[in-house]
Amino acid sequence: MIRSVLGKFQTLLKQLQPVASEDMPDVSLKMYHIVCIPSCYSYFQTLLEQAGLYGLVQLHQFNWDFIYFDQGVLSLELPNLYECLYLQGNTSPLPSMAQSLRLLQMICGQPALILSFGNHSSQLLQMLKALGKVPESKNPPDYGGWLIIDRDKDYAASLLTPAIYAGLLLEVFEQRSGEIIVDTSKNKISSQRVELLQGKKAKVGLSTANKPCSIRLSSSSDEIYADNRYRRFAQVSSLIHAQVKALGLELQKLNDMQLEEMHDYVARKLPKLTELKSKVLRHLNASEIVIKMMGNFRRLQTLEEDILNNVSRKRLLSEIDEMLTTDGQRFNTLRLLCLLHHCVGVAPEELQIFARNYCNLFGHQELGVFQQLSQAGLLPPLLAEKKAPTKLLSNLPLPKFQQTEFQANANRLKLLTSCGDGPDGGSSSKGQAGALQSCPSFVFNGTYIPLVAQLCSVLLKTNSAEELSLKLEMIEGLHLHLDTGKTTPKAFANQLKVSGNGDQDIFPLRLRNLFVFVVGGASYAEIAACDFVAKLTGAQITVASDSLMAGSDLIATAFNH
């Protein structure tokens, strides 16, 4: 059983080739089976024949359904999909995703509308339409609307460092199928640092936690995680320490009990307390490692806030360069530069200087990474030194940087709290605790609202198609997919005006349940922000994606070249 990756398939064929030279009693017998997830491409069969294994090896494909991780969280667990779509331009995984979405439609019913944003999202819906109409069911649909969005339409929500507990756990620890491994000797941050800056490998966290332990990111299996998953990390850390003290005091009650009370306590309450103590200690150990690994957290968040608001570009570049030298993180320093380019823009000559310093630190074999990130739109193309017009730029009368797509959409949809005026657009008084609790931007310490959360808020609060058009008409690439076909919010509102049939207006949504699908990986900050919007509007929002990832995971895909 392998991923549908050409390199892995070719490696497997090389390992199986000696089988072809052996004398088989019956060549017609399929002695070996290869299961490809999620698709078995036609050229796999061609490679099988070229390797002389046809008739000995049988190929299968297995495209599984969405995997339930937690309440409101689904994943297809296809970690190589971002690399395929955005770095390689390979759209072959899209048909299998369309099949998964069609199966979900067959189970949950056809929504009243689907809002898509991005090229891959539109392609997915075209494939979904080509698969045929979903049979009508007597039961009402589970979702009133779907939102399908490309990852590159909101890179900021992935590249920014989250301030919530679940998000920081993924920043530090490896995650597989909704479970993280808390290892005191190795984690994402320590493994990406340059060896010179790693220092001595000391034990991190509790002295009793020598062996790696796992934490299931599921509310049903871990009540500590359920209570704290979307809270701000500073608050969670103090709450966990308080729970440890409370458990210690509870266990001390045994000393003051009579013998009969002690028997009853040990039989009924002690096993539950012991299990709870084990969970609390795991979270305490994990939080201590997070605190140690994210030592410059406040400085990092201040830097990210300045990047979002485009405060002093020269200082931002020098700070990123300084963090590269002092902290030496392979992925996270690149991530800051990608965030700067996405939000403000980075000039080719600025990238050259950074790339030279980066390669001097990590080796010149990493030069191809910059080209990979450029393919995904995370960095500008890396030009040759002699082609960089460093001296000419200062003589140009035109401004050096124009408004980026991020800046335009962030201003139109009020994603930056500095330009917000309420729960939808944030609050200018982000430093106040009350302001943080009334805005989805709390997931990024009150600086930025994830795009998916803001779009969900728009869909849930809109009372007419005309109101939706006023809010979204300036956003290019947004499309509504209705029973009548594909259209734009503005065209749909005009169509209703011309026909004069207001009964066909699907707003406000009759069913206040939304399904969100992010093509290319979702972050826990986006999930937490959508959960906040759902509670604020009295709705339900389910967030699904091909995988759940942190910002460093996004950058790490470029190193697979």
pLDDT at position 53, please?
Answer: 86
219 part of a folded domain: yes
Count CA atoms closer than 13 A to 539's CA, side-chain side. 28
Average pLDDT over residues 309-324: 91
147 and 170 together in one domain: no
Average pLDDT over residues 186-213: 66
DSSP readout, 84-110? Answer: IIIIS---TTHHHHHHHHHHHHHHH--
Q: Which of 12-21, 106-115, 192-201, 420-429 is modeled with the greatest confidence?
A: 106-115
Q: Tell me the CA distances in angstroms from 340 to 380, 401, 414, one per residue in order.
A: 11, 12, 19
437 part of a folded domain: no
178 and 242 together in one domain: yes
Give per-residue pLDDT as tens, 330-368.
999 999 999 999 999 999 999 999 999 999 999 999 999
Q: Which residues partner with 216 through β-bridges?
A: 179
52 part of a folded domain: yes
Record the tokens describing residue 507, joined without a space.
Answer: 């707003």
**What's the mean per-residue pLDDT of the chain?**
85
pLDDT at position 115, please?
Answer: 96
357 part of a folded domain: yes
Closest CA to 339 of 105, 182, 177, 158: 158
pLDDT band at 56 (very low <50, low <70, confident <90, very high): confident
363 and 480 together in one domain: no
233 and 172 together in one domain: yes
Record the pTM.
0.89
pLDDT at position 167, please?
Answer: 96
264 and 332 together in one domain: no
pLDDT band at 5 (very low <50, low <70, confident <90, very high): confident
Give per-residue pLDDT as tens, 382-401.
887 655 455 444 444 444 55
185 and 210 together in one domain: yes
pLDDT at position 207, please?
Answer: 42
469 part of a folded domain: no
Q: Which residues partner with 306 through β-bridges?
A: none
356 and 283 together in one domain: no
187 and 149 together in one domain: no
Minimum mean pLDDT range among 4-13, 362-371, 498-507: 498-507
pLDDT at position 212, please?
Answer: 82
Give per-residue pLDDT as tens, 439-462.
999 999 999 999 999 999 999 999
pLDDT band at 505 (very low <50, low <70, confident <90, very high): confident
The C-alpha atoms of residue 552 and residue 88 are separated, in whole angstroms, by 19
* CATH code: domain of residue 323: 1.25.40.850
- Full residue range of the structural domain in which residue 178 is found: 165-293
pLDDT at position 483, please?
Answer: 82
* CATH code: domain of residue 112: 3.40.50.1910
176 and 289 together in one domain: yes
275 and 212 together in one domain: yes
pLDDT at position 255, please?
Answer: 65
344 part of a folded domain: yes
432 part of a folded domain: no
Q: What percent of the chain has pLDDT over 90?
A: 58
SS in 3 state form for 467-496?
Answer: HHHHHHCCCCCEEEEECCEEECHHHHHHHH
pLDDT for 263 beyond 90: no
26 and 122 together in one domain: no
Last residue of a domain, one of 244, 266, 293: 293
Burial environment of residue 357 by CB neighbours within 10 A (0 to 12, 13 to 18, 19 or more)? middle
Average pLDDT over residues 242-253: 78
Give per-residue pLDDT as tens, 509-550.
999 999 999 999 999 999 999 999 999 999 999 999 999 999
Q: What percent of the chain has pLDDT over 70?
A: 84
Query: How big is the chain, counted in residues?
Result: 561
Last residue of a domain, one of 12, 29, 61: 61
Higher pLDDT, 266 or 380: 380
Helix or strand holding residue 214 (H, E): strand 213-216
29 part of a folded domain: yes
pLDDT band at 244 (very low <50, low <70, confident <90, very high): confident
Is 189 in contact with 297 (CB distance < 8 Å)? no
Please tell me the total count of domains within the chain. 4
Higher pLDDT, 84 or 271: 84
Last residue of a domain, one of 293, 319, 345: 293
170 and 289 together in one domain: yes
Q: Residue 141, SS3?
A: coil
The C-alpha atoms of residue 125 and residue 80 are separated, in whole angstroms, by 21
